[in-house]
Chain A
Amino acid sequence: MAAADSTDTLVSIQGVTKDFGGTLAVDGIDLEIRRGEYFSLLGGSGCGKTTLLRMLGGFETPTSGRIMIDGQDMADVPAYRRPVNMMFQSYALFPHMSVAQNVAFGLEQEKVVKSERDDRVAEALSMVQLGEYGRRKPHQLSGGQRQRVALARALVKRPKLLLLDEPLAALDRKLREKTQFELANIQVKVGITFIMVTHDQEEAMTLSDRLAVMNAGRIIQVGTPGDIYEFPANRMVGEFIGTINVFEGTADLADGSVHCPALPCPIVLEDKIAADPESQVAIGIRPEKMRIRKAGSAPSEAAPASNFLTGKVEDIAYLGDLSIFHVRLADGRIVQVSRTNTTRRRDEPLTWEDTVEVEWDPQAPVVLHQ
């Protein structure tokens, strides 16, 4: 928790807690965000993402803990003096002002002279491709246009940090995908640090340099999208981002394998497990890291001694690029296996009620804590 004010840290959140008269919305969060980073907060509804963001913006006071931005303690800095701007989820465009007046509002507060103000407003509006729309009122714009005005209004102040609360939530799917790329391009162009809240894991993975997964007011894991997907710290993260099959078993220190009652043979991991002998561990394996085939169609005759299971196909979801198989094991549990549809085929060799064999490599399983 040392205030590591190294030059590349922009935001440092230290032991921050927010208590809304009994509800712990944010529960002791420590987090460092680097300069120029696109950082996302991801988590289920009500886990405290908005609250954390609002504390950074200065709209809520932390019950305890410290927030430093650019080495400065924010405790006594009101919202209107913070080098931070926020893009509100509802966009919060002033309905009685035109688009240009909305964008100019923040510059007026800084007493930027009129000529420079006009230039910067025009520049910001053209950056979000709304150069022609300055004289419109917000109600004369569509949802996507409003979203871009809100972005221009926040960016025109050239803040050190931009906070975005579910910036794309109000847009339909197609427009959202298009806007995601625009957002990423703009962030690279202006070089401002972005912190974005989102529900949408795909959006977080696409846009972020790093992301934090939150649950019940705490941060469960911080890392790059790759880290978080491939090495989820626990079962909750694994299940929140993508799909994961979880097997519980006992660790055997002698060979570093894990014995699961549900599986016919042990799971062997590439990184030898370092748990207490006989202790319960949970192992996660992503569906795409497993291979599926019809029983008896294997080239080798003997069943493998590890990393292997058999079951019956219960359900098949054909998604075009992928097919997802729900395989029922002997004890009734379901394992999901996905297969990339690399070849075009008329008759799918695997069908319902087929007995199948599933296997994976030793680097596929990952230990899930807690």
Chain B
Amino acid sequence: MTDTAADRVADSPALSASRGRLIGILIPTAWLLLFFAIPFLFVIKISLSEAAYSVPPVSDFLIWQDGWPVLQATWANFALILDDPLYLQALLGSLRIAAISTLLTLLIGYPMAYAIARAEPGMRTPLLLLVILPFWTSFLIRVYAWSTLLQDQGMINSALMWLGVIDDPMRMLNTEFAVQLGIVYSYLPFMILPLYATLERLDGSLLEAAADLGARPATTFWRVTLPLSLPGVAAGCLLVFIPAAGEFVIPELLGGPDTLMIGKVMWQEFFNNRDWPVASALATILLLLLIVPILLLDRTQSRAEQG
């Protein structure tokens, strides 16, 4: 992973001969190694340390005893996490909520992406812009807006009561439903963009060919469109699922005390309990759970580029 010396065989000589190539690889590599990859090692280190009343609030990893260094690694934090149902529930809850929200996002995003891809060429860019536009306004504020909408006295409840659908306000804020809604809302553009990219590239003559061979629109969709858009589906789902599993802001603002998600628990351990080792152990476990989806996402993207 660290060895990124330019390989001279593959490419055009004038570029590979120049130092530019080396610089182009080395600068980003150095930056990302130092500020993205290596930090995980420190998280793992802290997760194996003991909490202490000091600054920083962890005991030293290495201590000197009779002139010998002694490694103070401990599995206690991981053992605690596996023992305490709170943490396990939070882990499983995160994965469940992220999975359900991803599915919902896909169900809402697919028709939208498809509609945009099939719109007139001149309309596609403006429609895409409409999808992205909310993303450029503050994420935090948009989530907060939902919290006001979902309140017992909020607009949705008022509207439903006015319509006579319900007599008493429904409790929506501080529920798992609100969290899922928030995730779907916040991550919808991340689903639509990759879906649109594959659907837009889909050759229209393939659909005509299918129709010509006697397939009804629904059959064409199941047999041609959907299979060909699977790379986009995969990329979109991973782009939503992975960050959603570690989401903090949405469960914090929209979830209730019983909506346990790992990101929120970790935040509380870190900021409220000042228990860095347990927070680090939680981060390590979450990272381990997400490594496979992250590698999958990387492969989908590389394959999309080649294809």
Contact = CB atoms under 8 A, between A and B. Distances in A.
Interface of A: 21, 58-61, 78-80
B14 A79 contact: yes
A80 B17 CA distance: 12
Per DSSP, chain A at the interface is loop
Given A21-B10, A59-B14, A79-B12, 15 more contacts: A21-B9, A58-B13, A58-B14, A59-B12, A59-B13, A60-B12, A60-B13, A61-B8, A61-B13, A78-B13, A78-B14, A78-B17, A79-B13, A79-B14, A80-B14
A227 B17 CA distance: 42
10 contacts: A21-B9, A21-B10, A58-B14, A59-B12, A59-B13, A59-B14, A60-B13, A61-B13, A78-B14, A78-B17
Contacts of B13: 58-61, 78-79
Nearest to B8: A61
B12 to A, nearest CB: 5
Nearest to A81: B14
Chain B's interface size range is: under 10
Contacts of B14: 58-59, 78-80
Q: Is the interface of B mostly helix, strand, loop or mixed?
A: loop
A69 to B, nearest CB: 15
Going nearest first, the 3 A-B pairs with the smallest beta carbon separation are A78-B14, A61-B13, A79-B14
B8 to A, nearest CB: 8
Nearest to A19: B9
A79 B14 CA distance: 6
A282 B8 CA distance: 46
Interface in B1-32: 8-10, 12-14, 17
In the complex, which of the residues A21, A58, A59, A61 has the most CB atoms of chain B within 10 Å of its own CB atom?
A: A61
Nearest to B18: A78
Contacts of A61: 8, 13
Contacts of A21: 9-10
Contacts of A78: 13-14, 17
A60 B16 CA distance: 10
A25 to B, nearest CB: 13
Nearest to B9: A21
A21 B7 CA distance: 12
A59 B11 CA distance: 8
A58 B13 CA distance: 7
Contacts of A59: 12-14
Contacts of A60: 12-13
B116 to A, nearest CB: 27
